[in-house]
């Protein structure tokens, strides 16, 4: 009978080898080890452009990325990302890579079937025959072909890129999407069911916004500013069922006419609503209070006639309110409607017809992010990708009266304050000099008086920020606050005595001169009568 004997040391050695082997295998697999065929395709693509020409005038960060590509060093593939598990190329970032010449339809580029991200922007090819071939890259999620000098029509084959979430074609001469002279909505967009952002600004789009845009299931951002749109196709209610977060219709060429529909409800996911520079009339729809995610509302330069929308305080995330250049009227303060905007960063209610006084506690209770946070802990100055509003208060060119509240000094994070073109009187509160974040202030064309508070923030402003106030003095104005209180020189006292003193002096002269003349006449008469010879000798007659 044969007995099987295993030594404990042998078993432990075997298990240790298995563990070490599995560790190395797992470690190697987890590294982005590229597949040989992917390296081969990359080098073939590199050889298609042996001469690299950089145009630093068009893109100052141009870099000859493909020049360093070599099979001996995986890290040399600048702008290339390999999948950790499969080793295939998933991302090609060739922005400003100095590629020029001809990108052929049979280019090695179109063999990257696993590619999810492709950026060819700021490269310059002399032929556009490759555009239809992009449809072979069916896994693409991001495609950027901006500023490549492309011309002609956008290929309908793009519709096969049904995983696309971001498509950027701006800065070309395509019949395509931003600054491209498009006069109608490309129908292939309908098929891009995963498209999240659509930018078609500054084109020649006319008429109605097609209703199929609202049915795109993933569309979050729609930028249609700078076109000639004037209405929406179908019922405005379709907007409620959309996934839209940002709607930008500002400066539409022939401009949107009519009223904003009062149809917003809790289903809306809107965060940004910008319909500025149109011809919208009527009132601001109160149903906007249902858009609890709304952060930016901009209705600048329309024909809205309404009272101040106190109900906006119910929007918990509101950061930017722009009512500028409309026909809003009445007071902006009401005891019945105390205001508290917890997230407000910027308010512009200028160029309307608001009236009344500015209460001392106004704005102070609006926004805690404006107040009391150290400079080193402050949040970014800007809100959103397309908005550059700073923490700002603009109420100029209305008919406000009263004084500037000194309590506004509590707005310690305020960066811009414009009160110009009102009827404000009194002094500029010296407390405002403590606003260390304040970069811009304008109180011109009011009825302010006294000395301008001296600080780096106020004294460093241009003279135009304080002009139009007849009794305002001090830097940066040239009017000195001491011009009425400077004592006259001693010579001036001697030569030009005060008016009251002059009157008294003339009275004294008259009192002494009159009797003297009379006495002289009497003496002369006596001498002439009794001593004519002596009279002639004295006066040499």
The rounded distance, in Å, linking the Cα atoms of 355 and 357 is 7
Contact predicate 132/155, CB 8 Å: yes
Residue listed under structure tokens 């052929």? 104
Q: Where are the domains of the chain?
A: 32-195, 500-539
39-61 pLDDT, tens digit per residue, is 999 999 999 999 998 888 888 88
Query: To the nearest whole percent, how much of the chain has pLDDT over 70?
Result: 73
314-331 pLDDT, tens digit per residue, is 898 998 999 999 999 999
What pLDDT does 385 receive?
A: 42
Please compute the mean of the pLDDT values over residues 325-354 and round it to a whole number: 85
C-alpha distance from residue 348 to each of 15, 331, 337, 442 (Å): 73, 15, 19, 14
208 pLDDT exceeds 90? no
CB atoms within 10 A of CB 522: 9
The rounded distance, in Å, linking the Cα atoms of 44 and 120 is 17
What CATH number was assigned to the domain covering residues 32-195? 3.80.10.10
Q: Could you tell me the pLDDT band of residue 90, with boundaries at 50, 70 and 90?
A: very high
What pLDDT does 200 receive?
A: 79
Contact predicate 344/364, CB 8 Å: no
β 89-93/80-82 pair status: antiparallel
Spatial CB neighbours of 182, under 8 Å, sequence gap ≥ 6: 175, 176, 200, 203, 204, 205
Closest CA to 85 of 17, 34, 133: 34
451 pLDDT exceeds 60? yes
Q: Could you tell me the pLDDT band of residue 28, with boundaries at 50, 70 and 90?
A: very low
133-157 pLDDT, tens digit per residue, is 998 999 999 999 888 888 776 666 7
Please compute the mean of the pLDDT values over residues 108-132 and round it to a whole number: 91
176 pLDDT exceeds 70? no
Spatial CB neighbours of 288, under 8 Å, sequence gap ≥ 6: 264, 273, 294, 297, 312, 315
491 pLDDT exceeds 90? no
Measured in degrees and rounded to the nearest 5, phi and psi for residue 167 equal: -130, 120
Contact predicate 199/178, CB 8 Å: yes
Count of alpha carbons within 13 angstroms of residue 304, beta-carbon side: 30
Query: What is the distance between the terminal CA atoms of the chain, rounded to a whole angstrom?
Result: 184
Query: To the nearest whole percent, how much of the chain has pLDDT over 90?
Result: 29
The rounded distance, in Å, linking the Cα atoms of 302 and 297 is 13
Please compute the mean of the pLDDT values over residues 155-179 and round it to a whole number: 74
What pLDDT does 438 receive?
A: 87
């Amino acid at each position: 009978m044969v007995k099987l004997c295993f030594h404990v040391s042998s078993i432990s050695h075997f298990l240790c080898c298995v563990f070490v082997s599995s560790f190395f295998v797992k470690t190697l697999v987890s590294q982005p080890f590229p597949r040989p065929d992917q390296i081969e395709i990359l080098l073939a693509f590199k050889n298609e452009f042996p001469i690299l020409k950089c145009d630093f005038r068009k893109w100052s960060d141009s870099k000859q990325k493909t020049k360093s590509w070599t099979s001996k060093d995986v890290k040399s593939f600048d702008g290339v990302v390999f999948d950790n598990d499969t080793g295939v190329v998933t991302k090609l970032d060739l922005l400003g890579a100095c590629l020029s010449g001809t990108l052929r339809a049979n280019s090695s580029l179109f063999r990257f079937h696993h590619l999810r991200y492709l950026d060819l922007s700021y490269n310059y090819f002399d032929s556009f025959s490759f555009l239809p071939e992009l449809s072979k890259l069916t896994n693409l999620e991001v495609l950027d072909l901006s500023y490549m000098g492309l011309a002609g029509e956008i290929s309908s084959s793009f519709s096969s890129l049904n995983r696309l979430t971001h498509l950027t074609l701006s800065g070309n001469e395509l019949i395509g999407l931003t600054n491209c002279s498009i006069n109608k909505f490309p129908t292939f967009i309908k098929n891009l069911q995963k498209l999240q952002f659509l930018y078609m600004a500054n084109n020649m789009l006319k008429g109605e916004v097609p209703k199929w845009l609202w049915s795109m299931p993933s569309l979050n951002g729609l930028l249609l500013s700078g076109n000639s749109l004037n209405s929406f196709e179908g019922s405005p209610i379709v907007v409620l069922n959309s996934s839209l977060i940002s709607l930008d219709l500002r400066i539409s060429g022939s401009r949107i006419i009519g009223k904003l529909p009062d149809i917003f409800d809790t289903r809306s996911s809107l965060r940004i609503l910008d319909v500025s520079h149109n011809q919208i009339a009527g009132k601001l729809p109160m149903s906007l209070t249902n858009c609890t995610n709304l952060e930016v509302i901009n209705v600048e330069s329309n024909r809205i006639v309404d009272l101040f929308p106190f109900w906006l305080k119910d929007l918990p995330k509101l950061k930017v309110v722009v009512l500028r250049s409309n026909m809003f009227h009445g007071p902006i303060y009401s005891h019945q409607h105390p205001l508290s905007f917890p997230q407000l960063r910027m308010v512009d209610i200028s160029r309307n017809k608001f009236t009344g006084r500015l209460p001392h506690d106004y704005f102070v209770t609006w926004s805690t992010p404006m107040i009391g946070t150290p400079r080193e802990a402050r949040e970014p100055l800007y809100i959103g990708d397309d908005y550059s509003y700073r923490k700002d208060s603009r109420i100029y060119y209305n008919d406000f009266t009263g004084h500037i509240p000194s309590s506004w000094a509590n707005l310690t994070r305020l960066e811009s304050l414009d009160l110009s073109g009102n009827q404000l009187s009194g002094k500029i509160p010296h407390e405002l000099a403590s606003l260390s974040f304040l970069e811009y202030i304008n109180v011109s064309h009011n009825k302010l008086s006294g000395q301008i508070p001296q600080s780096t923030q106020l004294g460093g402003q241009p003279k135009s920020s304080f002009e139009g106030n007849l009794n305002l003095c001090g830097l940066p104005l040239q009017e000195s606050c001491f011009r009425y209180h400077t004592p006259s020189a001693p010579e001036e006292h001697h030569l030009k005595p005060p008016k009251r003193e002059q009157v008294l002096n003339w009275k004294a002269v008259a009192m002494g001169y009159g009797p003297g003349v009379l006495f002289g006449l009497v003496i002369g008469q006596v001498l002439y009568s009794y001593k004519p010879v002596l009279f002639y000798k004295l006066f040499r007659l």
